[in-house]
Structure formats: C-alpha cells, structure tokens
Chains A and B, each alone.
Chain A
Amino acid sequence: MAILLFSGVAFRRLHLTLREIFFSGVLSLLIIVVSGLFVGLVLGLQGYETLQRFGSTEALGVLVALSLTRELGPVVAALLFASRAGSSVTAEIGLMKATEQLKAMDMMAVNPIARVVAPRFWGGVIAMPLLAALFSAMGVLGGWLIGVVLIGVDDGAFWSQMQAAVDFRYDVLNGVIKSVVFGVAVSLIAVFEGYDSVPTAEGVSRAITRTVVTSALAILALDFVLTSFMFRGTS
C-alpha cells in the first residue's frame, strides 16, 4: 500500500524507474534468451516424439506456441526473474538497510519507500511481461529449429497451423495477463523481503532465500488460480 502511495516519484522522475528496468530487465536478458531457447528445443523434441505417434507432426508449431504463450513463457520466465532479478533487488535493499543507507536517506528527509522501493517495484512490474514475451519468442524459435531445421517438419505447416490455432485474446493476452500478475507478485515479494530484512549478513541472506522460495510458490499457486479462471475448455 505504501508503495502505491509513494509511487509518484517513480513516475515523475522516470529515470529512477528506467534504471531499475535496466537492472531487472536488460541484465536478465541473457538468462531469459538462453533458457527460452533451450525450453523451446526440448519442447520441439518431446512434442515431435509424441505427435509422431498420432501422425500429426505438422501440429508441432501449435503445440510449442500454445505451451509457451499460455504456460511455460510466463511461469518459467517468472521463476527465472525471481531468481535473477528478485533476489538481487532483495539483496540490494537489504544491504542498504544493513549499512544504514536507508536511515541516512530518511534523515536527509528523503522517503526511502518513494526513492528506493517504488522504482524497483515498478521496474520489475514493467520488465516481467517483456521478458516473458521474449522467453516465449525464443522458445518458438527453439521449437522451429528442432522441428523444421533439424527434423524436417514442413515449414509452412509449422507456421500456418500455429497462426490458425493460436488466438490472440484467448492465448496470447491471457499469457500476458499472467506475466503481469507474476511481475507484481515477484516484485512485491522482493522489495518487501529486502525492506523487512534483519539488517545483518545472516538476515539479508535469509531474506534472499525467502524471496526466491516465496516467489516460486506464489507463481505456481497464482498460475493454478489464473489458469482455472482463464482456460475452461470453451471450444
């Protein structure tokens, strides 16, 4: 609540939030791109193996795209985001607290929630959906590389079936909504754990662990809740 109350600074002085988007988002690019590619490669292999049994290997593009946009993109990207960026935000805020930087800021009449916490929260919320989208795109590329380039599934069938079967609102938009919700959850957990940490080496280390564990559980639980509301087998 306090974050929302003191979010004005994060948007009035946009460079503070842009800096956090850089630290949370841009610096997470490598892990997201590489992981997305590998998940896509594995999906391509497993999907082809299964679809082959039913003689429908042309549907590989649909399988890869739906798995990624609906589930794996938002969920795995959020788990990686929590480990890479969430833990680092908690550590940074926790260490600022342990070294009295937050107290010093407060004594200089600068509200640490407005100046430190809110920009990091919004930086994470903005970066997370972009990372999830990139993860899904890299996954599709990985699936294409395995299915089309390596195994020899028809290129036209791969893309045209994907285009026909993946609905923008039902599949893509719901995936984006999931990634926004996960972004809010992970960022909130990360800044809270950092700000609430015991200001010692051990306290900060525990706070980082809590961020990763709580975020992972929150992502998986929220995913179940969101999936049960979003995808009820309408067709």
Chain B
Amino acid sequence: MPEDILVDIDDLHFAYDGRPVLQGIDMKIPRGKVVAIMGGSGCGKTTLLRSIGGQLKASRGEIRLGEHRISQMGQRELYQVRRKMGMLFQFGALFTDMTVFDNVAFPLREHTDLPELMIRDLVLMKLEAVGLRGARNLMPAELSGGMARRVALARAVALDPLLIMYDEPFTGLDPIALGVIGQLIRRLNDALGATSIMVTHDVQESLLIVDYIYFISEGRIVAQGSPAEIRASSDPFVHQFVNAEADGPVRFDYPAAELRRDFLGAAGG
C-alpha cells in the first residue's frame, strides 16, 4: 500500500439479513485529507463508516487502516486501533449524565494515567478549539444542537486521533452552526495532521471544505472527484444530487403499480 494512503478499502461487501447494502466498494483515503462520502438516505454510507470503525463486519473484502487489517481483527485488537480513531455521531451521542468537561475528559480518563491537573488542561485546550471553554460546566441537556455537536467534536479529538470519522455532522443545524461545524472539521483536521472521513448529504457545505468526494448509490460508488470536478460533472446522478433535483436517476416515485390500476382497478384493492 502506498505510504500516503491511510484507509484502503478493497472490494467491500456487506449485507443485512441477506439484503446487500455495500456491493464492491473500492476506496483509498490519503493521509491528511478530508474526504466526503455522499449519497441518499439508505444508500449504505453509514454502514461503510461503521465498517471502517470495525463496528460492522464485512461479508467480503478488506479494510486497512495503515498496517492494520480492520476487517480481520478481534475485539481486543480493534480496541487498540480505535484509540487512534475519533468519531462524531449524528446527534453527538454525549453522555447525558456527565458535564461537558467530563464528556471530553472521558477518553483521557479511560485510556491514560495522566494526573487530573493535566487532564484539565488538555480538556480546556480541546474545548477552546471548539469555542466552548466557557461551557465546560454545562450538562448536555443545556446545550443547543450545534454546541452539542462541537462538544462531541472536542471529545472525538481528545486523544489526537489519526482518523476522524463524521456521521452526518450537519444534520439538524441552523446555517450558522452548520458553517461553524464545517470550518471546525477542516481546521481540526489540518491542525492535528489527521485524516477525516465525513458521511453527509449536505452537498454545498461539503464542497467548501473537503478535498475529495465519493458518491454512493445502492451500495456502489457511482461517481468521485475533487469539489471542482464534481461541480463540473455531467454525470446525471451527480447533477441531480448537487442541484437537489426531485427526479433523475434517483426516482421521485417509490415503485408502485400503474396509476390507472390503482384508481380504476378493483375497488378496495
């Protein structure tokens, strides 16, 4: 594997109860880059992210993180590798019985023997990076959606991970919070020298901050490229997605019987 590739996915297949979700995904994520995985709801992008994190086992294919083969690891090895990963969940997944400070301190307390004074300094540095040092004593229930996402981001980078994964980081945010999270993703990635994979369907925000984009539809990669290439793409799927068109390769109508038959056919059918 070339030195500059951090995550290498080779012919990945995954199925839920026999229903194929991922069908032969090949992907290379270079070190230091922010890469977006886009696609409609249910296309398999979150499954792909969970597979990279080792939370789901692929039915075929391989995922490598540096020299580690994620798809063939037991839980003990996986936990060792996950210390090098950070993940931001869709709604933050903050621990609701802990303060903002304790949430960010959680991975440090669990995985290091650092004295509490040093943990305090590290937590405050991480919170300062996301602009929430002053909110350290608040409980998650007291935070807005955007603030909760920023705290979760500080927690995800608490151990200075090699790889940061984002599952729909922009969902449910107002335009200001959305812009803030977008900028933080880019800034933290560059400041930490990390690599980021972001699953999202927010095209406009993503085009501003990412280095490369993969489009997934029905478990397959259907298009890929840099933001400039994506904007200029004539691919019908990319065009529909980027311009948010209701109909195109992704159909507006759910498959159904012919309209005439439903209205003029057997009554009560």
Binding site for B on A (CB under 8 A): 95-96, 99-101, 103-111, 115
* Interface set, chain B 69-85, CB cutoff 8 A to A: 75, 78-80, 82-83, 85
A84–B89 alpha-carbon span in the complex (Å): 32
Interface size on B, residues (CB 8 A): 21
A110–B110 alpha-carbon span in the complex (Å): 7
- The answer to whether the Cβ of B243 comes within 8 Å of any Cβ in the partner chain is no
Is A100 a contact partner of B55 (Cβ separation < 8 A)?
Answer: no
Is B53 a contact partner of A109 (Cβ separation < 8 A)?
Answer: no
- The answer to whether the Cβ of B240 comes within 8 Å of any Cβ in the partner chain is no
A106–B82 alpha-carbon span in the complex (Å): 9
- The answer to whether the Cβ of B111 comes within 8 Å of any Cβ in the partner chain is yes
A105–B87 alpha-carbon span in the complex (Å): 10
The contact of B106 among A100, A108, A111, by CB within 8 Å, is A108
Is A107 a contact partner of B85 (Cβ separation < 8 A)?
Answer: yes
The contact of A104 among B80, B89, B110, by CB within 8 Å, is B89
A103–B91 alpha-carbon span in the complex (Å): 12
Main secondary structure of the interface of A (DSSP, over half): helix
Is A107 a contact partner of B55 (Cβ separation < 8 A)?
Answer: yes
Is A103 a contact partner of B82 (Cβ separation < 8 A)?
Answer: no
For A96, A100, A106, A108, the residue with the greatest tally of chain B CB atoms inside 10 Å of its CB is A108
- The answer to whether the Cβ of B138 comes within 8 Å of any Cβ in the partner chain is no
A107–B165 alpha-carbon span in the complex (Å): 10
The contact of B96 among A99, A105, A109, by CB within 8 Å, is A99
Q: Which residue of B lies closest to A23 (CB)?
A: B97
Is A99 a contact partner of B91 (Cβ separation < 8 A)?
Answer: yes
Q: Which residue of A lies closest to B94 (CB)?
A: A101
In the complex, chain B residues whose CB is within 8 Å of the CB of A109: 78-80, 82-83, 110-111
Q: How far is the CB of A117 from chain B (nearest CB, A)?
A: 15
Q: How far is the CB of B48 from chain A (nearest CB, A)?
A: 15
Is A99 a contact partner of B93 (Cβ separation < 8 A)?
Answer: yes
A111–B74 alpha-carbon span in the complex (Å): 13
Q: A107-B55, A107-B85 are in contact. Are A100 and B79 (CB under 8 A)?
A: no
A35–B79 alpha-carbon span in the complex (Å): 46
In the complex, chain A residues whose CB is within 8 Å of the CB of B80: 109
Is B90 a contact partner of A108 (Cβ separation < 8 A)?
Answer: no
In the complex, chain A residues whose CB is within 8 Å of the CB of B66: none
A99–B85 alpha-carbon span in the complex (Å): 20
A-contact 0/1 string along B146-178, CB 8 Å cutoff: 000000000000000000000000000000000
The contact of B53 among A96, A100, A107, by CB within 8 Å, is A107
A100–B91 alpha-carbon span in the complex (Å): 9
A-contact 0/1 string along B105-134, CB 8 Å cutoff: 011001100000000000000000000000
For B55, B83, B93, the residue with the greatest tally of chain A CB atoms inside 10 Å of its CB is B93
Q: Which residue of A lies closest to B111 (CB)?
A: A109
A101–B89 alpha-carbon span in the complex (Å): 9
Is B91 a contact partner of A107 (Cβ separation < 8 A)?
Answer: no
For B82, B96, B110, the residue with the greatest tally of chain A CB atoms inside 10 Å of its CB is B110
In the complex, chain A residues whose CB is within 8 Å of the CB of B53: 107
In the complex, chain A residues whose CB is within 8 Å of the CB of B96: 95-96, 99, 101
